[in-house]
Each structure stands twice: as C-alpha cells, then as structure tokens.
Structure 1
Amino acid sequence: MKNSFAISSRITLLAAAFALSACGTSKHAIATLESRSGSSTTGSAEFSEVDDGVKLTLEVQGSTPGLHGAHIHETGDCSAADASSAGAHWNPTSKDHGPADPNHHLGDLGNIQINDDGKGTLSLTKSAWKIGDGSAEDVIGRAIIIHASEDDLVSNPAGNAGGRFACGVIVAK
C-alpha cells in the first residue's frame, strides 16, 4: 500500500510539473517608446524567449519615412529630453559596431524602415540575448532607441545614426 501511494504521489508531481511547463514559462520583456528630441516618433518593443534565443518585435509610428537606426543602449533611463540619459550603445563584450558583421555588439539592431504613413516594424532574433537572468547579456534595464537617421552599419561606435527620436526602457513583462 505504501508503494502505491508513493508511486501515485510521484505521478501527480510529474503531471503537475508537465502541466506547468506546458503553460509556457518563457520570459518576456517590453518597452514603450516615447518621443524625444522634438520628434513625434513613438512605438513599442516586445522581447520573447524562443528556441534559438530572444526575439524582438519593434513597432514604430509617427516617424519620418526612410531608414532609421535602432539600437539598445546601456542604461534604462529615458528621462533626458534628448534621451542622452540612456548612455552609449549596449556593448558588454566590447565588439565593433555593425549588424552586417557577425562579431557586432549586442545593442546593434540595424535599421527600421519607416513607410510613408510614418509606421514601421522590425523583427529579429539574437541567440546571445537573455531576459531576466541578471547577466551582462540581459536586455532588462536597458533602453531601446530609434535614431533620426539611417545607421551606416560600419561607423564605430554608433553607426552615425544621428539624434535620438524615441526612447523606451526595457522592463520585464
């Protein structure tokens, strides 16, 4: 009788663990982008754990048409009118700038294409990013920035992308 109770208890615990894992325990983070530097650019960013890393979905509205550099910056502070409070590009591994280079720094997102209606989306996945683990690769506590101009993808350290048109602090969801 004792053995059947122990087996039944183990089965119940395994079933509960399986049910919890099936509910989805992936981590998420978000950022709400607010206008800076006199622009009308706003937007949102969502980070989600996926099998091959962390996926970013970035949506922007109210911006000028064309390509705009997008970056994660080191400090989760958008309080300055020009978003300078967000600091430099997030580069915990001291790599060169430029998403075209496989050895680029973690804050490089490339460019987001803004259409004539002022809207644009960007989606990408990075295997090195983490969510909520407190490591140097953790996106939480950083800021996401939309710049005034196109990122040239080569100039160090920031791609010559101009002023900061929108800023949002990345927080756990």
Structure 2
Amino acid sequence: MFLLPTVALAMMKGGPLAPDISGTVYFKDVPGGCCVSARITGLPRYRPAANDKEPIGPHGFHLHECGNCEVGNPEEPFLAAGEHWNPSKQPHGNHAGDFPVLFSNNGFAHMSFFTNKFSVADVIGKAVIIHANPDDYRTQPCGNAGKRLACGAITAC
C-alpha cells in the first residue's frame, strides 16, 4: 500500500530583487484540510504607495502551478513557476493558490493558517511565491501583487 505524504516543505530563497529573503513554508495535513505555516526572514521594509510608485509590502503570498524556481529574467524573476494554482477555476480571491498577505515586522514574518482547499499531496511539485506588493484579491487572474521576490519549490518531507 502506498502512503500519501502528510507533510511538505518549501525552502524559500530570494531572487535578484530581494536576495536577503529566506525561510520555510510547511504544509501539514490536519482533519478537514491543511495547515500552512511560514517563517520568513529578510523581507524588504514596508513602503507605502506614493508618487505613482507601488507599495512594498505587505507581501502577496501565493501557491503557483509549477515547482520551478529558476530565476530566468532578473527583472521579472521566477516566471517559470507559472500562474497561481487554481484547480477549481475560481475567481481570484477564492482560489486554492490565494494565501493571506505576509506582514513584515523588521524583515521577519511568521504566520500560520488553515485551508480546506487542498491536501499536502495536492501541492507537492508546486511553488510558493512571495510578491513585492499586497494582493488586492480582486484583479483577475492574479491579484496585481507585483514582482516576484522569492520562490520555494514544495517537496514531501
């Protein structure tokens, strides 16, 4: 009998736009769904939107289709991770890849949340992306969260 993994991990690594980002995102099956826990360091300092410049932070935080964290173009890193993972074709703000935003506290964020939209086995081989801007949870298909700052491929533990 083959047992499905019940715990997975994404080791987060900053790209050329935010090389100091590092951390872990754990996925653990629990009754009724999955608990996701993130511990991230090296996040850029918050900067509010001003003078036609986008804000920096709180940071969009998403599950993307492909576990490929190749930097590619340093101006637009991590595009190989694909779009937000959306297996049930829900509008943005309600799909499986939508996570709560990460708030930087002097470069550090620690957050846990529960979701019933997937299990650990569903996310193996996907990627977690941290974006520069907060997600607006409205703009289709991906929430206007800005550039991709860090990526972590999800693997079974």
TM range (shorter): 0.7 to 0.9
Compute the TM-score of the two structures, normalised by the length of structure 1. Answer: 0.76
Q: Secondary structure at the match of 1:109?
A: coil
Counterpart amino acid of 2:116? S
Q: How does 1:139-158 map to 2 (within 5 A)?
A: 139-158=123-142
* Residue ranges of structure 2 left out of the alignment (5+ in a row): 46-56
What's the % identity of the aligned pairs? 37
Which residue, 102, 114, 125 being the options, matches 2:104? Answer: 114
Q: Secondary structure at the match of 2:80?
A: helix
Q: In the alignment, what sits opposite 1:135?
A: none
Compute the TM-score of the two structures, normalised by the length of structure 2. Answer: 0.83
The answer as to 2:81 corresponding to 1:86 is: yes
- Report how far residue 60 of structure 1 moved: 1.2
Whether the 8 Å contact between 2:5 and 2:156 is mirrored in structure 1 is no
How far apart in 2 are the matches of 1:52 and 1:160? 30
- Report how far residue 49 of structure 1 moved: 0.9
Q: In the alignment, what sits opposite 1:54?
A: 34
The answer as to 2:44 corresponding to 1:64 is: yes
The answer as to 2:92 corresponding to 1:97 is: yes
Q: Secondary structure at the match of 1:68?
A: coil
Q: In the alignment, what sits opposite 2:51?
A: none
How far apart in 2 are the matches of 1:150 and 1:166? 14
Bigger proportion of residues as helix: 1
Q: In the alignment, what sits opposite 1:129?
A: 118
- Report how far residue 162 of structure 1 moved: 0.4
* Residue ranges of structure 1 left out of the alignment (5+ in a row): 1-24, 99-103, 133-137
Deviates more, 1:148-157 or 1:138-147: 148-157
Whether the 8 Å contact between 2:12 and 2:23 is mirrored in structure 1 is yes
- Report how far residue 38 of structure 1 moved: 2.4
Tell me: higher relative CO, structure 1 or 2? Use CA pairs within 8 A at least 6 residues apart.
2
How far apart in 1 are the matches of 2:146 and 2:16? 11
How many residue pairs get aligned? The number is 138
Larger Rg: 1
Whether the 8 Å contact between 2:5 and 2:120 is mirrored in structure 1 is no
4+ long deviations beyond 6 Å: none
Q: Secondary structure at the match of 1:32?
A: strand
Q: Secondary structure at the match of 2:10?
A: strand
